[in-house]
Structure 1
């Protein structure tokens, strides 16, 4: 009875999110309903007795308060700092300077589809420094897209490659990466270097290779010649080329002050972001004077607020939803079923990857499903006898990969809109490379992790 009730709630939550209801409210409501049901059916309590408010019904909201306070001061602060930094880099033109320099060498190649494949790899590397999938996609639409079109790549092929440029969510600047590292209780640099990077390299090569062949196959089947270059209008004066160094500073600081280099000094992501913002402000002050930088720093703070409203609240809502599933007993039911059925760790990982893949496609987001499921992974991993990071990493990669197959994803819609193509036609072109990426990333994760 309780299990059926839980599954109905989960189905309704997924349905409401698919129908574009606010995911934060939907997840919070689902979590609260399941916690209330846990009290009614006596399957669990929202809080342990030692930290309870004294009333189980009040504990539902006490848990919400405790979760909010903990998240905002830890992972939430990282997400806000990273989001604000990315927006400020875009505002001062540093992101565009980095993209321009990175893309320029591709113009010297004369093999259209080779340039296209290399363009994907370049875009994925840039994603480490420009974590916004939509933002990076739009930057590539005004830099890489014209190069590909001039070389003879079709409009749809060029847009398909650009739409998947951030599919792996790489590096310490990614919110999903920080959540995975924190949930696995390891430093974000260790997660990126030791776990994510080896799998990502193999997956990137797979995606680039599949794009090379798949887009040619689609182009041979399409006879229309609809190549057009984007008519872009420069609104601001182009920044100096050395501004390309500014977006790299946080990653450089995190890598330098880590066990890989200087182990005696420790620096976290937020501190690296604050230092980098200070350096960028000095550079802006030298170029434009003091008054503009006093005004422009509001771009950073406004973006931090937006990250709280759009992303941090989603993390909190996902944790409440996951806790609801836990206290109502659904998580224990699933785990016990898997254990009793002698499900191997590899099969459990594959099952979680499949679940998060379908959720990401339906939700059109990599954040929403990963934030929803990540909190329960340590318990599941512990019960099947593996390290949490071994399960978290393929799930984290799958959430970004699957997002690139959804026609309602922000990055897909954004680049499709700029190129004036259908998002539904676009995901037909991204589906095969992304399915290949899912297979390779999951397989590599199993080989290296188990």
Structure 2
């Protein structure tokens, strides 16, 4: 009980600082170190070593060695996957392959003359694009440039179009997404299997639900607020047109995803290609395409630097957060807070389903308050396998709704970077965007929890 109260107080302080826009990495790291320090002094019978790591010889240094072990473990594992995926995404942006893929997918929708149907179908298409374009913000920016003007020209209000794009990454799907890779690791399976056997079947029902709700809520709010009809913003005179990539470049962003899925237990089990290897192969293939198209070896070599810069950016923003969140989550577990919650739920007679709901809602609320689905999921994902084991249940049954809830919570957060960005395009406040995304998001969350409860 004492450990739980201490952990609750520290968690509340950490949440308050993050909500006030303090750097989440530093806040989570300090909170985790505080939990370890309190455990070392007040609960000396509990080990504060990171897994099977050996003691430095003094408990004071063991606390900081804990961070080193977490850094080594996360960077060598899921962190490398996240950095490789981020670097590949940046390289695809650099050579404009992402734009080519979006253009290829958007063109067929322009043939339909029902604007709100296009809006709903556009959500499904953009959600599927997220499988290849792992960055939620990057996908939203591409859609704002390409699809947003099309929707507005067809008669959808700017606010409705911006709100739909704000939900384009409602669920973080695919083997290239960092949270999905971490979820697969905790579930004890390959990312391709996690995506194809668990994420995708559940996502189909959720996407259909969200698309229908987007159709009706967009029409309702446009009728209520008055649609803001406007044409696409013309390009300023005198500015050169943005160069376009060849049409076949549209295949490059999905190439690593295809490799991971094909060379996995799903299809060809004799050969196995992990996400990092697939990203490296995809990058070299894109490099060869650049040589073929531009016929400039020096320029093509320089372009690959975008891959490595992207890896560094992902370490700074995401992997560092992963390490600090891991220290915090491990601190919660070591001090006994997680065991207290589990024992309380079991004593009260609640089953695994209620515990799964509690953990999923905890991730959702954290993502909505902080605007970061990554921070929310990374903070609590490490707790799921242990909780599921104590209930004698499969870890994936808990980790799947938690992982999907991270993106869902982000879509109803007025402080999320994606929501703020699309609100500017929609010429309204982030709160107006959230008002439009709330009902589809709520319906999607309910559908996800119901489907997960029935089939998992």
TM-score normalised by length of structure 1 = 0.97
Q: Give the secondary-structure state (helix, strand or coil) at the position aligned to 1:386.
A: coil
Match for residue 387 of structure 1?
394
1:420 aligns with 2:427: yes
1:126 aligns with 2:129: yes
**Cα deviations by residue, 1:123-175 (Å, 9 ceiling, x for unpaired):** 01111011111111111112111111111111111111111011101101101
Match for residue 447 of structure 1?
454
Match for residue 201 of structure 1?
204
Q: Distance in 2 between matches of 1:238 and 1:51?
A: 55
1:262 aligns with 2:264: no
Q: Distance in 2 between matches of 1:113 and 1:139?
A: 20
Match for residue 18 of structure 2?
17
Whether the 8 Å CA contact 1:142–1:232 is kept in 2: the answer is no
Whether the 8 Å CA contact 2:192–2:260 is kept in 1: the answer is yes
Match for residue 364 of structure 1?
371
Q: Distance in 2 between matches of 1:375 and 1:96?
A: 35
Q: Give the secondary-structure state (helix, strand or coil) at the position aligned to 1:54.
A: coil
Q: In the alignment, which of 169, 176, 184 is matched to residue 181 of structure 1? A: 184
Over the aligned positions, Cα root-mean-square deviation in angstroms equals 1.4
**Cα deviations by residue, 1:58-98 (Å, 9 ceiling, x for unpaired):** 11111111111111111111000000000100110100000
**Cα deviations by residue, 1:251-284 (Å, 9 ceiling, x for unpaired):** 1111111122211111100000000000000111
**Cα deviations by residue, 1:83-122 (Å, 9 ceiling, x for unpaired):** 0000100110100000000000000001111111011011
Where does structure 1 lack aligned partners over 5 or more consecutive residues? none
Q: Distance in 1 between matches of 2:241 and 2:384?
A: 46
- Judge which range, 7-16 or 257-266, deviates more: 257-266
Seen in structure 2, the aligned counterparts of structure 1 residues 110 and 67 have a Cα distance that, compared at 3 Å, is same
**Cα deviations by residue, 1:286-345 (Å, 9 ceiling, x for unpaired):** 122101011111111111001001100111111100111111111111111112112111
Seen in structure 2, the aligned counterparts of structure 1 residues 217 and 418 have a Cα distance that, compared at 3 Å, is closer
Q: Give the secondary-structure state (helix, strand or coil) at the position aligned to 2:113.
A: coil
Q: Distance in 2 between matches of 1:224 and 1:158?
A: 11
Match for residue 243 of structure 1?
249
Match for residue 79 of structure 1?
82
**Cα deviations by residue, 1:373-398 (Å, 9 ceiling, x for unpaired):** 00111111111221111100001111
Q: In the alignment, which of 87, 90, 95 is matched to residue 93 of structure 2? A: 90
CA positional deviation for 1:238: 0.6
Where does structure 2 lack aligned partners over 5 or more consecutive residues? none
Match for residue 292 of structure 2?
286
CA positional deviation for 1:229: 2.3
Match for residue 36 of structure 1?
37
Match for residue 48 of structure 2?
46
Q: Give the secondary-structure state (helix, strand or coil) at the position aligned to 1:247.
A: coil
Seen in structure 2, the aligned counterparts of structure 1 residues 225 and 420 have a Cα distance that, compared at 3 Å, is closer
CA positional deviation for 1:23: 0.5
Q: In the alignment, which of 399, 404, 407 is matched to residue 414 of structure 2? A: 407
TM-score normalised by length of structure 2 = 0.96
Q: Distance in 2 between matches of 1:225 and 1:309?
A: 39
Match for residue 322 of structure 1?
329
Seen in structure 2, the aligned counterparts of structure 1 residues 228 and 41 have a Cα distance that, compared at 3 Å, is farther
Seen in structure 2, the aligned counterparts of structure 1 residues 124 and 310 have a Cα distance that, compared at 3 Å, is same
1:103 aligns with 2:106: yes
Whether the 8 Å CA contact 1:82–1:270 is kept in 2: the answer is yes
Q: Distance in 1 between matches of 2:422 and 2:209?
A: 23
Q: In the alignment, which of 442, 445, 449 is matched to residue 435 of structure 1? A: 442
CA positional deviation for 1:235: 5.7
Q: In the alignment, which of 145, 148, 162 is matched to residue 145 of structure 1? A: 148
Whether the 8 Å CA contact 1:142–1:230 is kept in 2: the answer is no
